[in-house]
Amino acid sequence: MVRNAGFGGGLATIRPGICMIDERRYRAWYKDWFDREEYEVVYGHRDDDEAAKLINLIVAFTRLAPASRVLDIGCGRGRHAIRLASQGYRVTGVDLSRSSIDAARVRASSMGLSIDFEVGDMRELVCDGCFSMVVNMFTAFGFFEEDDEHERAIASMSKALYTDGWLVQDFLNAENVRRNLVPESSAVKSGMEVTQKRWIEDGRINKSIELRGPAGVQKFSESVRLLTLEDFDRMYRQAGLVLHGVFGDYDGGPFGPDSPRLIMFARKHER
């Protein structure tokens, strides 16, 4: 049985190995996929240890004062928010995915942590000048069709900061993706065969994900704009933010063409 799930029905295979996106279903894929438990099957390896490394880097670089207010926007199931709260920060987590927010709430309360988790859209203003730091982790960005939506999201993040507050974004490294693209890979995860096909088109990295298990086949898709450091720098300036540091991995290694990540530290300046 082939069961189309999420917006996976939007992938039409036209020749073996080549996928084209059905434009009507291509839109807003991110509203569904992150809500699915299959997302956890594919990305379960992105775990708490990885989150802890990144939070250690962030705390070391920013020297954020204890008990500061932090917003994790696109917080998913809350792995970074929980780490921040366990270090004594006062944390709010916001995500578009209701099931992720529900899971984050359950997990935080089972750990005795008080974190304000809310469903929300990063393009909308969370508050005006009420956080010392906004974090946006593990490519929780670049999904929108139009670049002005990305600009709007950065502007909202900036608006949520106090003057001198930090915006920290952890994004894919577009140059690395272009240089080292693996067009197809397969692995067995949680008893399911997961096949991922990747291709670059119109400045976006697109992925089709097929999960094959006892219940049949499910197909999902992702599409992320290949934004570069220069793109972010431009959006930051527009939003009153100034870049203060860039790293290329969660250990604080340098950013370069082959580094796995693009981790940016920007600061809100007086307008």
Residues that bind ligand SAM in the complex, under the rule CB under 6 A: 30, 34, 46, 74-76, 79-80, 95-97, 100, 121-123, 137-140, 143
Least CB distance to ligand SAM at residue 18 (A) = 25
Q: Token pair for residue 64?
A: 């954020």
Chain-centre distance of CA 237, in angstroms?
21
**Nearest approach, Cβ of residue 2 and ligand SAM (Å):** 26
CB of 153 to ligand SAM, least distance (A): 7
User: Smaller CB distance to ligand SAM: residue 139 or 176?
Assistant: 139
Helices (H), the chain: 23-26, 30-33, 37-43, 48-62, 79-86, 98-110, 147-159, 174-179, 229-238
Q: Strand 241-247 relative to strand 131-136: parallel, antiparallel, unpaired?
A: unpaired
Q: In the bound complex, what is the minimum distance in angstroms from residue 16's beta carbon to ligand SAM?
A: 29
Identify which of residues 15 and 157 has a Cβ nearer to ligand SAM in the complex: 157
**Nearest one of 102, 97, 89 to 73, comparing CA atoms:** 97
Closest-approach residue to ligand SAM (CB): 76
Determine contact, residues 259/173, Cβ cutoff 8 Å: yes
User: Which residue number, 20 or 145, has a Cβ lying nearer to ligand SAM?
Assistant: 145
Least separation in angstroms between residue 14's CB and ligand SAM is 28
Nearer to ligand SAM, 138 or 250 (CB): 138
Nearest to ligand SAM of 48, 164 (CB atom): 48
**Is residue 195 classed as helix, strand or coil in its secondary structure?**
strand
Which class for 110: exposed (0-12), middle (13-18), buried (19 or more C-beta within 10 A)?
exposed
